[in-house]
Chain A
Amino acid sequence: MHDDDTLQIQRAKYPFLTETGKYLKDKSLTLEELNNPDWKPVIEKAYHRITATIAGKIYNSNLDQPDIEILSFIIAIILLKKSGIPTFSRRFSLQEARRAENYLKRDLEWKGNGSILEHVKRKGQSQQLALDILRNEFKLDVVMAEDSFKVKVTDYLKRGAHFHEREWKLVNRKVEQGLVFLSSDETVRLIRKELDELIGSKIQSINIESIPDTFQERVRDIKTLANSTLEIVTFSGEYPPCVKHGIEVLERGENLSHSGRFLLATYLLARGQTVDQIVPLFKNAPDYNERITRYQLEHISGSLGKGTKYQCPSCDKLKSENLCFAIPDCDGIINPIQFGKKRKANA
C-alpha cells in the first residue's frame, strides 16, 4: 500500500483531525457544488452517520472509500450545527469518539498480514500515527514498552483519578520510575472524555453562513426527529442545589457523571418517585438507552439484584465528588434528603 493511501485511511479513521476549509479547498470543492445530485449519496451517508449516533450506535465506517468517509463527517457536523439540537450534537460526538477510540486501540496494537518486512513497516506507521494523535491532540505522551504502553504518572492522574471504578486508582496500576503501565485499551480509555470534547468543539466551531438545498432537507429532518424523540422534561418543587444542578446538566443534554446520576436516582427514589417517573429525566443524556437506564434504576431502587436499596449519598461524599453546590439553605444538613425539611423545622 502506498504511503499516501495509508495517510488517507488514517484521516478517514479520525476525520475530526481534518480542517474542513482546508480539506474542501484541497479537493477544489465548494458547498454549492455539493448541491449536485451526484453528491446525494454522501449527504445520505452523513445523515445516516447522525441517525446512527442518535440511536446510540457506533457508525460503521467503510475505509475503502476514505474521501467519502471524511466528507460525510464534515457534512454531518454542518448538518448538526445548522439543526441546533445540542442533545443530538452531544450524542454524535460521544459515539464518534467511541468509534475513534476503537480505531486508536487497533492502531496502537496493529495486527496485520503480509511479509514480515511489510508487517513491521505498517505496524510502525500505524502505531506512530496513533501515538502522534495522542501527543499532538491530547498532550498525552505514550512510550511503547514490550507488551504495554507507559504514560507519565501525572498525565495518568489528571485523567484516571476522575474515573470512579476502583481499578483506575493509581494504587491498582503498575507504576515504576514515574510511569504507569497500561494496555492499549486502557491508554485510549484515558482520553475518552477529551476525544468527545474535541469532536464536540468541531461542531461548535464550524461556521457556515448558508447551506445548499440538499443539506436544508436533512436539517429539517433532524429537527423533526428531535421533536418526535426528545422530551422536554421539567420538574417542579424545591430540590437541593446539587440535585438541581444534575437536572440542569441533563436538561442541557450534557453528560452527567456516574456519581451525579446516582445522586439523582437515589434522591428522587427517596422522595417517592417511581422508576417510570424517573426514566424520562435521563432521555436527553448523550448516551441514553432506556433499557439500561431502567435496569440501573431498578437496581438502585432494590427491586432487582440482591434487593439492596441504595441510599442518597451524604453531603460530604458529594463534596468530595465536586457535586456539592451548597447555598445558605443547606446549612445544618448532612444529606440532600434533609433539604427543605430541616429548614422548615428551623423556621
Chain B
Amino acid sequence: MHEKSVAAVESALKEYYFNRFDLIHVPTRPAQREFGYQKINGGMMRHIAIKDDKELHLLLMKEIPSDVYCSNAYYSFPNLPMSEKDWKGADLIFDIDAKDLMLSCRKDHSIFKCVSCQVVTKDHLPKCAKCGSTRFESTSVTCKNCINESKKEVRKLIDILNNDLGIKNEEIEVYFSGNEGFHIRVTNQDYEQLDSQERADLADYTMFNGVMPETFGIRKQNTSKLDLPSIEEGGWRGRIARNLFSSKIKTSQTVKQIMVNGYSAFQLKLDEMRHIMGVRVDPKVTMDIHRIFRLEGSINSKSGLSKIQCNNLDSFDPFLQACLLGDDEVQIICNCPLPITLKNKKYGPYDNETVTLPKFAAVYMICKGLGNAI
C-alpha cells in the first residue's frame, strides 16, 4: 500500500479506535492470553501481554495497528517465547470462510489485478491484455449470497455443537470475521484442555471427514444383517438416516437399494453427503492451539470492516452492521469494475477515476487494493 493510502487508512483506524472503545474489549482471562498486532506494510508483533481494556486501548492509540489478535490459548506467561509460555488450555475455535465454500457466485464478484501493470479485470484471463504478464492478484467484493451460505454453515456447526457435543448456546459466541466469513468461539472447560490432534479429530467430526460405511451398519461382508440408523437417533447416524429415509415408503426402497449397491457404493454416497452435510470449517484453525485469532471489535485490514459479535445471525447484515468507520467524505482514485454495497448504498463501478466516497467505502476500496488515496 502506498504512503498516502497508508496515512488515509491509519487516520480512519485512529478515529475508530478512539470513538469505539465500547466495541473493543479484551476477552475473558486477559492476563493469561497472548496478544499480537500488525501495522500496514509491517510485520507481526507477538508475545504481548495485556491485562485489561485500558492497556489494550493504550496500545491501539499508540500503535494504530491495522489488525489486532489475541490467543485462544491461556498461558502462565503469555509474553515469553512459545516454549516457555506454559500452555494451560485454549478456547475451541472454528473459522468458516466463504472463499472455502466453492460457491458459484464467486466468479461474479471476484476481481483480478495484474501484478505488473495494475490493470483490473472481472475475468480471470490467462495473461494481462495490456502487458502480457501472467501474474494476477485476486480479490473479492461484497456478496450477500456468500454471507448467507456462510451463515448456513454456522447453523450446521451450532446444531452439531449443541446436539452432538453437548455444548450449550451460552458457551458459543458467533462473530463476523470482518471480511467474508464467521468465527465461532466455544468456552467450555472440558473442551479447553484438548490438544491439537484431539481438536483435529473434532474438526473432522464436524466436517464428516473419514467416515466409514460400518458406522451406518453397512459391512463389506455379511450384508444380510444391516444395522441401519434410524431417524430418531442423534448425531451423524440420525442426520444420515433423516437424509436417506424421508418417508416410510422410501425407507424400504432405499434399504433395498443400499443392499443391492453394496459397500463401495455406500462409501461414495457418504462422500456425496459429506459435501452437502459436513460443515466446511477450516480444520487448520480449529487444531491450532497456539493461534492468535482476530480480536473482537477490531478492524480487519482486508476490508476495513469490523469483527463483531452476531447476536441474531438470521438478521445480521455485515455490510451494514460491521461497517463502522466514519462517513466523512474522502477523495480517492478508484478502479473497481464491480459495484459494491455498503450501508445499503451502492458504490461503483469505477474506471480508474477520482471519486468522493464516505470514509468507510474509501477504506474498503483501498483495503481491497481497488483504490488509492490522493
Question: A169, B210: Cβ atoms under 8 Å?
Answer: yes
Contact of B164 with A by CB under 8 A: yes
In chain B between 5 and 33, which residues have their CB closer than 8 angstroms to a CB of chain A?
none
A-B residue pairs in contact (CB < 8 Å), sample of 11: A152-B166, A154-B191, A157-B194, A158-B193, A167-B214, A169-B201, A173-B215, A175-B235, A176-B234, A178-B164, A322-B197
Q: Which residues of A contact B197 (CB under 8 A)?
A: 161-162, 320, 322
Contact of B237 with A by CB under 8 A: yes
Question: A178, B165: Cβ atoms under 8 Å?
Answer: yes
Contact of B163 with A by CB under 8 A: yes
- Size of interface on B: residues with Cβ below 8 Å to A: 29
A179 CA to B166 CA in the complex, in Å?
Answer: 8
Contact of A153 with B by CB under 8 A: yes
- Partner of A161 from the list B201, B212, B233 (CB cut-off 8 Å) is B201
- Among A158, A171, A175, A176, chain B packs the most CB atoms within 10 A around the CB of A171
Question: A171, B205: Cβ atoms under 8 Å?
Answer: yes
Q: Which residues of A contact B210 (CB under 8 A)?
A: 166, 169, 171-172
Contact of B190 with A by CB under 8 A: yes
Question: A176, B235: Cβ atoms under 8 Å?
Answer: yes
| Known A-B contacts A152-B190, A161-B197; A167 and B235 likewise in contact (beta carbons under 8 Å) | no
- Partner of B201 from the list A157, A176, A322 (CB cut-off 8 Å) is A157
Question: B163, A177: Cβ atoms under 8 Å?
Answer: yes
Contact of B317 with A by CB under 8 A: no
Q: Which residues of A contact B165 (CB under 8 A)?
A: 153, 175, 178
How distant is B269 from chain A, measured CB to nearest CB, in Å? 15
A170 CA to B164 CA in the complex, in Å?
Answer: 11
How distant is A250 from chain B, measured CB to nearest CB, in Å? 23
- Lowest 7 A-B CB distances belong to which pairs? A178-B166, A176-B234, A161-B201, A154-B190, A157-B198, A161-B198, A175-B235
Question: B167, A154: Cβ atoms under 8 Å?
Answer: no
Interface of B is mostly: helix
Contact of B202 with A by CB under 8 A: yes
Q: Which residues of A contact B190 (CB under 8 A)?
A: 152-154
Q: Which residue of B lies closest to A157 (CB)?
A: B198
Contact of A174 with B by CB under 8 A: yes
Q: Which residues of B contact A158 (CB under 8 A)?
A: 193-195, 198
Interface membership of chain B positions 162-173, coded 1 if the CB is closer than 8 angstroms to chain A and 0 otherwise: 011111000000
In chain B between 271 and 303, which residues have their CB closer than 8 angstroms to a CB of chain A?
none
Question: A170, B202: Cβ atoms under 8 Å?
Answer: yes
Q: Which residue of A lies closest to B237 (CB)?
A: A174
Question: B166, A174: Cβ atoms under 8 Å?
Answer: no
Q: Which residue of B lies closest to A159 (CB)?
A: B198
In chain A between 160 and 206, which residues have their CB closer than 8 angstroms to a CB of chain B?
160-162, 166-167, 169-179
A166 CA to B214 CA in the complex, in Å?
Answer: 11
Q: Given contact pairs A161-B200, A175-B236, A179-B166, enumerate 6 new A-B contacts (beta carbons under 8 Å).
A: A152-B166, A153-B166, A169-B204, A171-B208, A171-B236, A178-B166
Question: B212, A174: Cβ atoms under 8 Å?
Answer: no
In chain B between 194 and 252, which residues have their CB closer than 8 angstroms to a CB of chain A?
194-195, 197-198, 200-202, 204-205, 208-212, 214-215, 233-237
How distant is B370 from chain A, measured CB to nearest CB, in Å? 36
- Among B190, B202, B204, B235, chain A packs the most CB atoms within 10 A around the CB of B235
Question: A171, B166: Cβ atoms under 8 Å?
Answer: no
Interface membership of chain B positions 329-369, coded 1 if the CB is closer than 8 angstroms to chain A and 0 otherwise: 00000000000000000000000000000000000000000
Q: Which residue of B lies closest to A168 (CB)?
A: B201
Q: Which residues of A contact B215 (CB under 8 A)?
A: 171-173
Q: Which residues of B contact A153 (CB under 8 A)?
A: 164-166, 190
Q: Which residues of B contact A172 (CB under 8 A)?
A: 210-212, 214-215
- Among A153, A158, A179, chain B packs the most CB atoms within 10 A around the CB of A153
Q: Which residue of B lies closest to A163 (CB)?
A: B201
Q: Which residues of B contact A167 (CB under 8 A)?
A: 212, 214
Q: Which residue of B lies closest to A175 (CB)?
A: B235
Interface membership of chain A positions 26-64, coded 1 if the CB is closer than 8 angstroms to chain B and 0 otherwise: 000000000000000000000000000000000000000
- Partner of B204 from the list A171, A176, A178 (CB cut-off 8 Å) is A171
How distant is B263 from chain A, measured CB to nearest CB, in Å? 14
A157 CA to B237 CA in the complex, in Å?
Answer: 19
Q: Which residue of B lies closest to A153 (CB)?
A: B165
Question: A154, B164: Cβ atoms under 8 Å?
Answer: no
Question: A170, B166: Cβ atoms under 8 Å?
Answer: no
Q: Which residues of A contact B233 (CB under 8 A)?
A: 174, 176
| Known A-B contacts A152-B190, A154-B193, A157-B198; A171 and B211 likewise in contact (beta carbons under 8 Å) | yes
Question: A177, B234: Cβ atoms under 8 Å?
Answer: yes
In chain B between 133 and 168, which residues have their CB closer than 8 angstroms to a CB of chain A?
163-167
A162 CA to B195 CA in the complex, in Å?
Answer: 10
Q: Which residue of B lies closest to A321 (CB)?
A: B197
A174 CA to B191 CA in the complex, in Å?
Answer: 19
How distant is B322 from chain A, measured CB to nearest CB, in Å? 32
Q: Which residues of A contact B234 (CB under 8 A)?
A: 175-177
Q: Which residue of A lies closest to B278 (CB)?
A: A171
Question: B166, A177: Cβ atoms under 8 Å?
Answer: yes
How distant is A226 from chain B, measured CB to nearest CB, in Å? 36
| Known A-B contacts A172-B211, A172-B215; A154 and B204 likewise in contact (beta carbons under 8 Å) | no
Q: Which residue of B lies closest to A178 (CB)?
A: B166
Q: Which residue of B lies closest to A170 (CB)?
A: B205
Question: A175, B164: Cβ atoms under 8 Å?
Answer: yes
- Among A154, A158, A173, A320, chain B packs the most CB atoms within 10 A around the CB of A154
Question: B205, A154: Cβ atoms under 8 Å?
Answer: no
A172 CA to B163 CA in the complex, in Å?
Answer: 16
Q: Which residue of A lies closest to B216 (CB)?
A: A172
- Partner of A178 from the list B167, B205, B211 (CB cut-off 8 Å) is B167
